[in-house]
Amino acid sequence: MTKKDSNSKYYIHPEGWKFASIFFIVSFLISFIFLPLAALGFILTIFTLWFFRNPKRTNPQIPNSIISSADGKVCLIDTACPPEEVGLGSNEMLRICVFMNVFNVHINRSPISGAIKKIVYKEGSFFNASLDKASEKNERSSIIISDENGVEVVVVQIAGLIARRILSFVSANQVLHQGERYGLIRFGSRVDIYLPKSSVVNCKVGDKVIAGESILATLADMG
């Protein structure tokens, strides 16, 4: 089942308005007591709206490409087993990890076009998301996406040191287009993308990438 990407119509995601409204009201009340502190609150209000920005992106539309699910910096490229809870067994996959700091856009996008086979949420800790142990210890939400050839890709949203909530915009059996928004993580986090080991990596650790645009890897030709 294909759903329209309803999140595409907002330049500021609705989640941002919730937090900004709280900061604004509190700052307004404080302004009657201590103006300098109120000024800081108004700055936080503006920053919150900016943090939840939801820009349009241009999909490269290159066959077999795997695009980044997150804005940020590639912090790890290795092979690893997907989270146990997704049920894919102990076969290792290629893993590319992208770390998002608080200045990055935190809207996450699908790395491929395909149907969502499973979504699994798991509670956890809140270690710094740039640490390797964050993949196993932190709060996370995993999605298995299967393309038209049956190739499965796993995307894992991992909450960070500050982030305390992962939001998902999608549901099981929904069909996503490459680059379509599927969720967000609040305030500093990470996304791990698990691919077939035969995939060709097109990035390196330290690269800055853009969700929905940057090509992280290319799937092996199924033909």
Name the residues annotated as catalytic: 189
CA dist 12 and 165 (Å) reads 18
The three-state DSSP-derived secondary structure of the chain is CECCCHHHHCCECHHHHHHHHHHHHHHHHHCCCCHHHHHHHHHHHHHHHHHCECCCCCCCCCCCEEECCCCEEEEEEEEECCCHHHCCCCCCEEEEEEEECCCCCCEEECCCCEEEEEEEEECCECCCCCCCCHHHHECEEEEEEECCCCCEEEEEEEECCCCCCEEECCCCCCEECCCCEEEEECCCEEEEEEECCCCEECCCCCCEECCCCCEEEECCCCC
What φ, ψ does residue 133 adopt, rounded to 5°? Answer: -70, -15
